[in-house]
Structures are given as structure tokens and as C-alpha cells.
Amino acid sequence: MLRSIRSRFTIIYFLLVFIAMIIAGIFIVQSLEDYNLNVVSKRLDDISQIMMSELAKVETDDLSEVKVELQETLDRHVDIGLREEMFIIDSKTHDIIATSTENINRDVTEILNDNLVIEGLIGNTIEKNIELSQSVKTKDKVYPIFKNNKQLGVIYLRYDLNDIYESISMARMIIFRAIVTSLLVTIVIGFIISKSITDPINEVTKKATLLAEGDFNQFVEIKSEDEIGTLSSTFNFLAGELKRGISEITREKSKLEAIINYMEDGLIAINAEGKIIHSNPKAIKMLANEDQFDDDLIGDLLSIYNSGRVESGVGTKTITAKGLVLKVNFAPFLDEESNRVGIVFVLQDITEAQKLENMRREFVANVSHELKTPITSIKSYTETILEGRVDDPELQKVFLEVVNTEADRMSRLVSDLLELSNFDSNSTKIKKSVQNLDVLIDNCILKLQVTADQKKQVFTKHYSIPPIVANIDKDKIEQVILNILSNAIKYSVEAGTIDIELRLGEDETEFDIVIRDTGMGIPDEDLGRIFERFYRVDKARTRAHGGTGLGLSIAKEIVEAHQGRIRIESEVNYGTKVTICLPFDMKNV
């Protein structure tokens, strides 16, 4: 019950009013009692003064001699309606010599207070409230009687207080009823007041609960301009600011999640307890097995962190995992007190970059080697001739032919490199025109016929009917066909067959040029790299035939520049099949 502020407020309000009313009631009753007793005391004083004036007329010093006159005087006071009991006591005999009651012959100690009588006999004026019985209360007061500085006796006055205490009891009852009525009214008023205070607080509490549950569309009606109104206004301001803040945080969170989930790098966060608290799809793809991280992954990442971090806790390390080369960047994340509460790992897949770097190094090495060989030959033969070591004109001619051949070889290498460079920089221009492919292929065969005849090789042709006409760059496609046919001639045995087929492709918008030979073939492990620059299946064999290792790379670039495809199928000792798939591209004509 006391957990409710309404009940506590009502009880406190009730107690405050109750205590105030009790204190006020006690004060009023006590004041009323004191007032009436003071009035009685003054009345007794007045009566005593009257009695003293009567006794002053007595000429004798012995009151017992005039007790008849004194009794008559008291009787007269009774006759005029005085309700006080009056007693005159002789100081010599200590007997009652006159009284307004019927106790004239009784002993003093039986009817009067001994202490008051004694005090009066020794000359003191004193009063006392006396309870004669449970229902009888009196105020007794004694006055010494002096004449010529000699005490003659004592006037003993007694006033019945029952009427006064009945009035006080009635006042107590009235005050009690007033207190009860006031407390009932206080409870009602306290409940109403507390309700007027607690209802807005309860409403704010209810709205705050909904706010805490995520419903930020809360508004408290402002019903007053007091502290409760200020609280309601503050709550509305807080709810509005919180809604805006949460909306902004939600947008930022959504943006951050989108960035993290769709970033090309993997991300893993580990908390201080060593548990993965976040990972993006890229990290799962890089390190997880069937979308589940290995149990030892956390240990591996922490080991990477401990071995690669610097003093600031930030670091980088390169690892290999699942066949990928990963660059792992890591840094701790901190709480508001700058305590480390976890580590973030960013995984960057540098497999392709590493592969390209290796290819670049290999490319530079190959170019250096390819250029060094003819340069060495040219320099050697030239120096021999210049030093005059060769006098025979025929031998000099042979040396110069070697120099010329090596120079041509260097020229072809440089030309091929320049052409590949142009493709890499997208500066190669494809100049398309409508061409009859039958005629184009026949021209290529014609240019290589002499070479093929030297090896007694035979060309067989299979052309589509009607002839295929396409929009292509004549020179570039001719270069591709010449390159493929030259390879077929070079790597086929004598008296071999080279088959050339021109046909429609699988898609009606494309056509295929298929060249088959009966040469030595290409091993399976080399087929995947056959289009790499400077890659040779057998470097010694290729170099002996005068190749640069760039022909197929250039052919692939040309075909892809035409939006086409080139693929090679081969079997060792049975020959090779090259398929060039090109679009007709007649819509641009």
C-alpha cells in the first residue's frame, strides 16, 4: 500500500492534519480549563475580600466569641445565592466556628484538606484542585485572617468544579467530533489532491514505459503550468529528441550495416570474452565452412593479433586461409572509458593482387630475358665482325643474317608489347567493316601456304552455306587467324592436317571459326594458363620456333574487343582445337 505515492501522500497529509488538530484540541481544552479555573480562583478571591471586610468589623480578637454573628453573615451569603462552600476556622481551637454548609460540628480533618488548613494556619494563602471522589472535583483556597498583626483564623473556600469539567468534557467531545470530521474531509481532500498529482505522474510513467518498449510516438497532455506541467513538457521534449535521436541512430546503423554487409572486405569483431559478436557475409565466405566458423578461428585471430600488433594495438598481417591470401588489418575498439572491450579484424582478399604482382614480376623477368637473348646475340656477332675476326664474306653474311633475324625478333616482341599495352590502356581502336569470312580465311591460308608446304601439311576447309558475312575489324581478326594457323603449322608434325571450319554459332547472333591440328597437343595443367603473357608450355621448344609467348594473349584481347570468346581444347599427342566465337554485329552497319 505504501508503495503508492498517492497513499503515502494521503497518509502524510492525514497525519499532518491529525497532529495539528490534536495539538490544537489539547491546547484549546487546556486553555479552556485554565481559563475557568482562573475565573473560579478570582471569584474565590472576591468572596474572600467580602468576608474580610465583614470580619474587619469584629472588635474582639477571639473569633469564638462572635461565632454566632459569623454564622449569620455566612447564612446571608447563602441566602443571596452564593454556591461556594465557606468555612471559618478558629486558629486557637482549629475548629470550624462558622460554615455555609451543615458541617458545623464536624471535625476539620473529616471535611477539609489538611494541608491547605495547615498552610492557612501558618499564614499562607494557597489554593488546590482536589478530587473528593471520581465524580466530585473542587477548587479549595485558604485565606489567613489577621487583625492587629495577629492571626485570628482561616477562611476556607471551596468551589464545586463539576459544571466546569462537564463543560470541558463537552468541549472535548465537540473538538473530537470536529477532529474526526476534519480528518474525514482531509482524507477526501488529500486523496483528490494526491490524485491530481499522481494521475499526471502515472500518465508520464505509462508513456515512459511505452517509450522504453520502443514506441516513440508518445505525447503527454499538459494540463497545468505548475511543476507537473513542466514535467509533462519536459517529457514531451525528451520523447521528441529521443525519437529524432533513435531515428538518426537507426539510419546510421542501417547505413553502417549496409556498408559492412556489402563491403568487399571481410569483417569480424571479437569481444573481451573471446566471442565473435559480428561478422559480415564476406568474412563468412572467406573463412567459414558451410557458413559456420571453425572452433579454432578465434584462437587463430587472437594469435594473429598478439603477433602483429604494435604498441597502440593496431597492426597488419598477411595470412593464407582456404587457398586465399588475406591481408588482416586489426585494431581494438574501446568503451566510453577508453577500456579495450574487443578487437575488429578486417580481412582483405589480396589473392588476385598477389597473383598480379607475381605475374608482373614474371612479366618483367620474361621481357628482360626475351630482350636480353637477341641483344646478346646481336652484340656478340657485331663485335666479332667489328673486331675483324671474320674475313670470309660468306661467313660475314651469315653473321649479319643472324643479327637481322634477332633484330626482327626484338621488333616483333616490342610490337607485341606495344599492342598489348594499347589494349590495357583501351587505346586500341577497332575499325569494323562488313567482311566475307570465307574470303578472309582463304587469304590467311594463302599467306601461310608456303610454310605449310615446306612441312607437307594440308589445309582442309569447311565453310557454311550461304557464306557468312559479319561486321569486324578485318586486320585484327586476320591477325588472330594467322596466329592460330601459324601455331598449328609450327607445332604439328610433317604431313599433318590442319582443319578449318566456319559455321553458325549456338546463338543465331554469333558464328564460330574452328581450327584443328594434329600436333603434339597441350597438357591439361597448362591449358588454364595458355593465354597468360609470356607463358609457354615448353619454353625451349617455343623459343626454338621463334615465338614470343604473346601471340595468344593478343588474340584473346582482339576477340574480346569484338565482344567474342576464344577457347582451346587439347589432348597430348592428338592435337589441339581452337574455337573463336564472334558476333555478327550487323546492327551497327
Express each pLDDT in 513-543 by its tens digit: 999 998 888 888 888 888 877 776 664 444 4
**Residue extent(s) of CATH 1.10.287.130 domains in the chain:** 354-424
* CATH dotted code for 354-424: 1.10.287.130
146-156 per-position pLDDT tens digit: 888 888 889 99
The tens digit of pLDDT for each residue in 498-510 reads 999 999 988 888 9
Judged by average pLDDT, the poorest of 9-23, 201-215, 256-270 is 201-215
Residues forming CATH 3.30.565.10 domain(s) in the chain: 433-588
Going by pLDDT thresholds of 50, 70 and 90, the confidence category of residue 259 is confident
Taking the CA atoms of 463, 577, 544 and 559 in sequence, report the sign of the dihedral they define.
Answer: positive
Which runs of E-coded beta strand occur in 361-465? Answer: 433-436, 458-462
Whole-number pLDDT of residue 290: 67
CATH 3.30.450.20 intervals, the chain: 5-168, 263-349
- Binning pLDDT at 50, 70 and 90, where does residue 3 land? low
Compute the average pLDDT of residues 463-468: 86
Predicted confidence (pLDDT) per residue in 385-434, tens digit: 787 777 778 887 887 887 887 787 777 777 777 776 777 777 778 888 99
* Cross-strand pairs, 150: 147
What are 286-310's pLDDT values in tens digits?
777 766 776 677 777 778 777 767 6
Q: What integer is the mean pLDDT of 427-454?
A: 88
Task: Indicate the class that CATH gives domain 5-168.
Answer: alpha beta
| Stretch 124-152: mean pLDDT | 86
User: 463 CB contacts (<8 Å, ≥6 apart)?
Assistant: 437, 438, 441, 501, 502
Please state, rounded to an integer, the average pLDDT across all residues of the chain: 81
Question: Is the Cα dihedral 31, 36, 40, 42 positive or negative?
Answer: positive
Question: Of all helices (H) and strands (E), which one includes residue 320?
Answer: strand 315-321
pLDDT of residue 548: 63
Task: Specify the pLDDT at position 81.
Answer: 64
Assign 132 to helix, strand or coil: coil
Specify the pLDDT at position 369: 66
Under 8 Å between Cβ of 475 and 513: no
Are the CB atoms for 441 and 559 separated by under 8 Å? no
pLDDT band at 4 (very low <50, low <70, confident <90, very high): low
**Confidence band, pLDDT 50/70/90 cuts, at residue 471:** very high
Q: Which of 149, 151, 150 is nearest to 119 (CA)?
A: 151
As separate numbers, helices (DSSP H) first and strands (DSSP E) second, the chain gives 15, 17
Nearest to 326 by CA among 300, 299, 296, 346: 346
Between 463 and 403, residue with greater pLDDT:
463
Contact of 48 with 155, CB cutoff 8 Å: yes
Lowest mean pLDDT among 269-273, 387-391, 484-488: 387-391
- Which CATH architecture fits 433-588? 2-Layer Sandwich (3.30)
Average pLDDT over residues 39-50: 88
Question: pLDDT class for 370, splitting at 50, 70, 90?
Answer: low
CB 537 within 8 A of CB 521: no
pLDDT at 588 over 60: no
pTM: 0.44
Q: For domain 263-349, give the CATH number.
A: 3.30.450.20
